[in-house]
Amino acid sequence: MNVNDEKMRLHAIVEGRVQGVGFRYFVEEQAIALDLTGWVRNRWDGTVEVTAEGGREALNKLLAALNRGPRASNVTSVQAEWGAPTGEHTHFYVRSTSI
């Protein structure tokens, strides 16, 4: 198995103008296109939280997309943590807002 195909888990907090600009749906579209599982949601502090699992190369592409964001957004920072996959999700979806 190629190291780029190794299954990983990415947890990211995205800061900036990332709410009210279609950011969650942009992330969902990117993740589905990359065949990732997990979720995205707004948080009450104005950030967007993402948890995604899949191959490392696909997750790196998602991370690049998080840093870029959709046209109307302005991403100021992305805090990313890597971990082992849990396999708890079967698809990628938008979750309800959380604290």
Q: Are 49 and 43 in contact (CB under 8 A)?
A: yes
Whole-number average pLDDT of the chain: 95
What type of residue sits at position 55?
A: G
CATH number of the domain where residue 25 is located: 3.30.70.100
Residue 99 lies inside a defined structural domain of this protein: no
Give me the number of domains the chain comprises. Answer: 1
Catalytic residue, chosen from 2, 4, 42, 71, is 42
The reported pLDDT for the residue numbered 98 is: 73
d(CA 94, CA 33): 15
Residue 90 lies inside a defined structural domain of this protein: no
Q: What is the pLDDT of residues 50-97, one digit of tens each?
A: 999 999 999 999 999 999 999 999 999 999 999 999 999 999 999 999
Residue 72 lies inside a defined structural domain of this protein: yes
Task: Output the CA angle 13-20-76, nearest 5 degrees.
Answer: 40
Q: Which domain holds residue 52?
A: 3-85
Residue 65 lies inside a defined structural domain of this protein: yes
The reported pLDDT for the residue numbered 44 is: 95
Closest C-alpha to 83, from 9, 6, 5, 7: 9
Residue 92 lies inside a defined structural domain of this protein: no
Dihedral pair phi/psi, residue 57, rounded to 5°: -65, -45
Catalytic residue, chosen from 9, 17, 24, 43, is 24
The reply to whether 42 belongs to the active site is yes
